[in-house]
Copies of this chain bind each other. A is one copy, B any other.
């Protein structure tokens, strides 16, 4: 089975391949009659242009590489949906690669993107990526790249789309304290992650300046977060407020609280809100909208692609977050 080419269509209609090409593209020079004939044949015989040939010619693949630390159920699906929504309108599609939080894999993924001739790269850094040395190839090839969500302090080589983690955590602390909490449990994620450090810092800053007692606990999975919550609550029965820094941590905390049937504690979580809304109407959350992060990141990479020549200044784009109060408040 051989695929139909414009040459074949040309042979059928006794016209030159280039005429077929123009006919299919509605070139004004071609007569309407011939155009219709060409289109009819192409349609009926299921002609589909050879992507590789078109890309080669146009030097563009209409594909964006998306590199993420892991394909998890938390947050990522929303981000992808947001990216897709913004990109598909413009005819771009996604090559999705996971670095599994390995810097080496991330470097490989970057190479894969380059090899595939993507028009741009969207990347959220792996936890191991303490520098951007492995990005050099992207610069050499002059491929537009945007870092989103998980990034590196003080890099100014690439555009960024993110939330202000420190400030978000600060807001969460403010919420609990304003609601009378005097003894707060901080349930944080993997303490090697930059995002964990920032959220911890923002939260602690507020508590310290307001002289509020707190306990810090780290967990690397929902399962661990559940176990740790039970342990911490067992150790200290004065705890009256909990901060969960992510959906993953929150789901563990929720399981723990629901197991011991404890509802009196104030809770706040940084989340896109889907899980908190379902699991309990009593969660307050700081909405960190993955979908919006996706669309904003996509928009940024697109405008970079369109202004590839003009070497504009790189910027940090901080998304707004919003405090959502629980139903009972």
> Residues on A close to B: CB < 8 A?
1, 3, 46, 48-53, 55-56, 59, 61, 63, 71-74, 76-77, 80-81, 84, 93-98, 111-112, 114-117, 136-137, 140-142, 222-223, 226, 251-252, 254-255, 258-259, 261, 274-275, 277-280
Min CB distance A244 to B, Å, is 13
Which single residue of chain B is at the shortest CB-CB distance from A117?
B51
Q: List 23 A-B contacts (CB under 8 A).
A: A1-B142, A46-B137, A48-B114, A48-B137, A51-B55, A51-B115, A51-B117, A52-B52, A52-B61, A52-B117, A71-B80, A71-B81, A73-B77, A73-B274, A76-B77, A81-B98, A84-B98, A223-B277, A223-B278, A251-B275, A255-B279, A258-B258, A261-B261
Residues of chain B with a CB closer than 8 A to A1's CB: 141-142
Q: Which chain B residues lie closer than 8 Å to A74 at the CB level?
A: 73
Cβ–Cβ < 8 Å partners of A254 in chain B: 279
Chain A contact surface mostly: helix
CB distance A116 to B46 under 8 Å?
A: no
Q: Is B97 in contact with A93, judged by CB distance below 8 angstroms?
A: yes
Closest to A98 in B: B84
Residues in B neighbouring A55, C-beta threshold 8 A: 51-52, 55
Oligomer copy total: 2
Q: Known: A95-B93, A280-B259. Is A115-B49 also a contact (CB below 8 A)? A: yes
With A81-B98, A223-B277, A279-B251 as contacts: A93 and B112 at CB distance below 8 Å = yes
Which residues in B have their C-beta under 8 angstroms from that of A95? 63, 93-95
Alpha-carbon distance A117/B51, docked complex (angstroms): 6
Taking a contact as CB atoms under 8 Å apart, the answer to whether B251 and A278 are in contact is yes
The CA of A277 and the CA of B72, in the complex, are separated in Å by: 16
**Closest CB in chain B relative to A46 CB, distance in Å:** 4
Q: A84-B98, A258-B280 are in contact. List 8 more A-B contacts (CB 8 A).
A: A1-B141, A51-B55, A51-B117, A52-B61, A56-B56, A71-B77, A71-B81, A255-B280
Q: Which residues of B are found within 8 Å of A94, using beta-carbon distances?
A: 95-96
Q: Which residues of B contact A53 (CB under 8 A)?
A: 52, 56
For residue A259, which residues in chain B have a CB less than 8 angstroms away from its CB?
280
- The chain B residue sitting closest to A142, CB to CB, is B1
Q: How far is the CA of A326 from the CA of B93 in the complex (A)?
A: 42
- Cα-based distance from A76 to B73 in the complex (angstroms): 8
Nearest-Cβ distance from residue A309 to partner chain B, whole angstroms = 9
- Inter-chain contacts of A71 with B (CB < 8 A): 77, 80-81, 84
Nearest first, the 3 closest Cβ-Cβ pairs linking A and B are A52-B55, A52-B56, A51-B117
| A251 surroundings in chain B (CB, below 8 A) | 275, 278-279
Which residues from chain B contact A275 at a C-beta distance below 8 Å?
A: 251
CA distance A61 to B74 in the complex (A): 31
Given contacts A73-B77, A97-B93, A251-B278, contact A51 B46 (CB under 8 A): no
What are the residues of chain B within 8 A of A255 when measuring CB–CB? 278-280
